[in-house]
Amino acid sequence: MRRWFSFLVTLSVAFAVLSRSGTARADRLRDIADVAGARENQLVGYGIVTGLAGTGDDSSVPFAGQSTLSLLRRLGIQVDPKQLRLKNVAAVIVTATLPAFAKPGTKIDVTVSSIGNAKSLSGGTLIQSVLKGADQKTYAVAQGGVLVGGFEARGASGSSTKSGSTTAGRVPEGALVEREVLTTLVEGGLLKWELRTPGFAVAQRIAEAIEKKLGPGTAKAPDGGVVVVKVPAAYDGKVVELVSVLEELDVTVVRRARVVINERTGTIVAGGDVRLSPAAVVHGSLTIVVKETPTASQPKAPVLGSAAGTTVVVPKSDVQVNEGNRNLAYVPGAATLADVATALGKLGLSPRELTSVLQALRGAGVLEAELVIQ
């Protein structure tokens, strides 16, 4: 909680300095929009990793053995399936991202992930794997040593320690591009800029900045997600030069007030445009403790002529309810990020409790920001 509070205060200082300077924050066009057609593409493939020190898939993973047999047969080696022993081989899924304008021979990074029951891919080598796009065409071929970020160590007594993931890794520059994705930037004399975060105000400002550079009537925003540019005659056949000129334009962006909450890690990040209206907050905790205490029930002494009793264990439950201290706290209005941090910091809540309070404040219309829960 203290670290989150300190972060908000530090961030608020930056916004305060910016607001005192009297200048609005502007971004380059290349940072907020992309040229239509200049996009990345996802690739995926299947392969096997060899050279593992007994940490690969076992015989219960049939496709690992089938892939190994298929590989050996392609290399002209006939192997009896009954004699095949794995443990040094692991079946993996290979993924990569094909950058825009990548030419044949370009090297790209790939990620490999185990799909069997391999314990670790550390020290393994990815054998030549074909990577295909969504159209089922081959665009790259991957091969190379696998780098694993995590580690796992086991002792002779059975104790072990582990850090990170050992069943996924990367092959830096492990894939060679074999096919180029043809890209068309200009269609019908029009060049389109697609906003990464759509917004009507930002789209209009981009159109105005382009018209100021190229002349009136050269740009328009049909909606909040795209800006259409009419290529001037001076740039006919010079698309690269035109894009290089436009991507340097400064555009004043509009940031939406957001609070991002990650409940798994307890991380809360608030933007500088967050506002808080006056509110009263009641917070507390309800704790229920159930204790099971087994007790022995002894039978009475048997009477002459009757059967002897038996000793049984009878569970005894003790339920305790503690509602804690439910305090009423007044949260004053906050106009800046520093004020928001100060107002919420006075509640003395943990990140998980503060998450619930923020959700309640947003539901009551007191928190003027969008909540993004991850």
Listed in sequence order, the residues at least 6 apart from 215 whose beta carbon sits closer than 8 Å to its beta carbon are 232
Rounded distance between C-alpha atoms, residue 128 and residue 143, angstroms = 5
CATH of domain 26-38+184-252: 3.30.1360
Tokens at 114, concatenated: 């185990």
Mean pLDDT of 23-44: 86
Is 74:41 a contact under the CB 8 Å cutoff?
no
Count of beta carbons in the 10 Å neighbourhood of residue 138: 13
Burial track 243-274 (b if 16+ CB lie within 10 A, e otherwise):
beebeebebebeeeeebebeeeeeebebbbeb
Tokens at 127, concatenated: 């054998």
Domain limits of the chain? 1-22+255-297+312-374, 26-38+184-252, 42-177
Q: Which of the pair, 158 or 128, is modelled with greater confidence?
A: 128
Rounded distance between C-alpha atoms, residue 88 and residue 49, angstroms = 8
Closest to 165 measured CA to CA, from 129, 131, 128, 118:
118
Gyration radius from the chain CA atoms: 32
Q: Which of the pair, 357 or 244, is modelled with greater confidence?
A: 244
Mean pLDDT of 78-97: 87
Burial track 73-85 (b if 16+ CB lie within 10 A, e otherwise):
eeeeeeeeeeeee
Residue with tokens 């269609």: 187
Predicted pLDDT at 319: 60
Q: Which of the pair, 358 or 285, is modelled with greater confidence?
A: 358
Closest to 91 measured CA to CA, from 69, 107, 109, 106:
69
Count of beta carbons in the 10 Å neighbourhood of residue 111: 17
Per-residue pLDDT tens digits for 200-222: 999 999 999 999 999 999 999 99
277: left (phi over 0), alpha (psi -120 to 50) or beta: beta
Rounded distance between C-alpha atoms, residue 237 and residue 231, angstroms = 9
Asked if residue 17 has pLDDT above 50, the reply is no
Between the CA of residue 330 and those of 264, 277, 303, 333, what are the distances in Å?
A: 28, 11, 71, 10
Q: Which of the pair, 358 or 171, is modelled with greater confidence?
A: 171
Angle at 91 between CA 89 and CA 96, to 5 degrees: 125
Asked if residue 190 has pLDDT above 80, the reply is yes
- pLDDT band, very low/low/confident/very high, at 320 (cuts 50, 70, 90): low
- pLDDT band, very low/low/confident/very high, at 165 (cuts 50, 70, 90): confident
Rounded distance between C-alpha atoms, residue 252 and residue 202, angstroms = 7
Mean pLDDT of 113-132: 93
Rounded distance between C-alpha atoms, residue 370 and residue 291, angstroms = 42
Asked if residue 226 has pLDDT above 60, the reply is yes
Tell me, yes or no, if the pTM score tops 0.75. no
State the chain's mean pLDDT as an integer: 80
Between the CA of residue 103 and those of 107, 140, 179, 335, what are the distances in Å?
A: 9, 11, 7, 51
Predicted pLDDT at 317: 62
Predicted pLDDT at 314: 67
Per-residue pLDDT tens digits for 233-279: 999 889 999 999 999 999 988 777 888 888 777 777 877 677 777 77
- Percentage of the chain beyond pLDDT 70 is 72
Please give the single-letter amino acid code of residue 110: V
